Structure 1
Amino acid sequence: MTTVEALLLTPGAGGGADHRTLVAIEAALDGRIAVRRHDFAYRRAGRRAPPRAPAVAAELAAELPRIAAELGVPPGRLALGGRSFGGRVCSMAVADGAPAGGLVLLSYPLHPPDRPERLRTGHFDRIDVPCLFVSGARDPFASPEELREHTAAIAGAVTLRFIDGARHDPSSIAARGAVVECVREWLDDLGG
């Protein structure tokens, strides 16, 4: 079983590392494992719109050795994840060979809303680490049924959690709390 010693959290395409869900996860895990909220290079450069996801994934993969060293953990003991675009980028980096102890994918954008034929899953069969998917049960980017179907391609162990009544962004305090609890329990199960 993988032991996770640190967690890197990345934001959605239009957001920053200060997203309230990422902040809540960091606060809840304080003292258990090291947590780093991380803005992508395009955000740090002051741009709002991201480059294409593969380019962002490659940039993130190049930064991971430094980030792991700063957190004092081997890269394979660092769980990667984030909200929406951030989780997608992390999953692409791992599929392309970046070392990780697991993936924490919050509100994974399986496809654009109302465009289920435009799947963002071509890399799933190259993911071989444990994965946690936490999504709103009413998320227009991925229904529970769609996630169940498409995550079957992932070689690593997959845990799916759905927040009743929530959409893509868990806007209520209760929904954010449920997301935080899902992440905490999953990391505890991994030995983090």
Structure 2
Amino acid sequence: MGHDVGGLLLTPGASAGRDHHTLVAVEQAVAPLPVERLDFPNRIAGRRAPDKAPVAVAHLVERAGVFAAGLGIPADALLLGGRSFGGRVCSLAVAQGLPARGLVLLSYPLHPPGKPDALRTEHFPALDLPVLFVSGRRDPFGSPDEFAAHVGAIPGPVTQVWLPGGHAPTGDAAVAAAVVDWLGSL
């Protein structure tokens, strides 16, 4: 476990909540590292439709500050991450200046399914920190070849773990193990 990692903030995908089984599995696997699993404002308000990215980013920035303060650690000792939309929000927040120790991007949505040209990579050059991608090899949001063409834009050290399956890779244990292994490398 990275000696300067003080906590992990985890965020769900667009249609999920903080109790998503993959997030829970990761929290259990990284124990005793403090973890906070967040809901986005739409979920807190009982709305199904996901928030627009700026709303979700602002919520994340606020909650990361509260979490770090509660742990008595600097903001840049927090790892930020999540599944799909949640991971994208974390990466956008960091690109916009939120300090973090690293990003844990589970099933990152490189592009919407069937729209490989609608890339969500414009902020990658601003990610100067360690980044972990864990995705299914058959994820319709981004294939291994598509990721290979774009992660080079990230100046920080990038780790990619490809698992069997699609947008929800097969086996939460494998996803959690990838996060634990990466933590040990920080």
Smaller-chain TM-score bracket: over 0.9
Displacement over 3 Å in runs of 4+: none
The equivalent of 1:12 in structure 2 is 13
Give the Cα–Cα distance (whole angstroms) in 2 for the partners of residues 73 and 44 of structure 1.
26
Q: Per-residue displacement from partner, 1:132-163 (whole Å, max 9, x unpaired)?
A: 00000110001011112111111111001100
Q: Is the 8 A contact 1:2 1:101 kept in 2?
A: no
Q: What RMSD in Å do the two structures reach over aligned CA positions?
A: 1.4
Structure 2 residue runs of 5 or longer lacking an equivalent are none
The equivalent of 1:124 in structure 2 is 124
How far apart are 1:3 and its partner, in Å?
2.5
1:187 alignment partner, one of 179, 183, 186: 183
The equivalent of 1:3 in structure 2 is 4
Code of the residue aligned with 1:167 in structure 2: it is: G
SS at match of 2:134: strand
Give the Cα–Cα distance (whole angstroms) in 2 for the partners of residues 51 and 9 of structure 1.
16
Q: Per-residue displacement from partner, 1:17-71 (whole Å, max 9, x unpaired)?
A: 100000011111122x111111112211211112211331122113321121123
Q: Describe how 1:21-32 pairs up with structure 2 within 5 A.
A: 21-31=22-32
The equivalent of 1:162 in structure 2 is 162
Q: TM-score, normalised by structure 1?
A: 0.92
Instruction: Work out the percentage of aligned pairs sharing the same amino acid.
Output: 55
How far apart are 1:2 and its partner, in Å?
7.7
Give the Cα–Cα distance (whole angstroms) in 2 for the partners of residues 68 and 45 of structure 1.
24
Give the Cα–Cα distance (whole angstroms) in 2 for the partners of residues 90 and 4 of structure 1.
16
Code of the residue aligned with 1:79 in structure 2: it is: L
Give the Cα–Cα distance (whole angstroms) in 2 for the partners of residues 72 and 159 of structure 1.
29
Give the Cα–Cα distance (whole angstroms) in 2 for the partners of residues 54 and 88 of structure 1.
11
Give the Cα–Cα distance (whole angstroms) in 2 for the partners of residues 39 and 71 of structure 1.
19
Q: TM-score, normalised by structure 2?
A: 0.95
Count of residues paired in the alignment: 185
Give the Cα–Cα distance (whole angstroms) in 2 for the partners of residues 100 and 35 of structure 1.
14
Structure 1 residue runs of 5 or longer lacking an equivalent are none
Code of the residue aligned with 1:70 in structure 2: it is: G
Give the Cα–Cα distance (whole angstroms) in 1 for the partners of residues 52 and 147 of structure 2.
23
Give the Cα–Cα distance (whole angstroms) in 2 for the partners of residues 47 and 149 of structure 1.
36
How far apart are 1:15 and its partner, in Å?
0.1
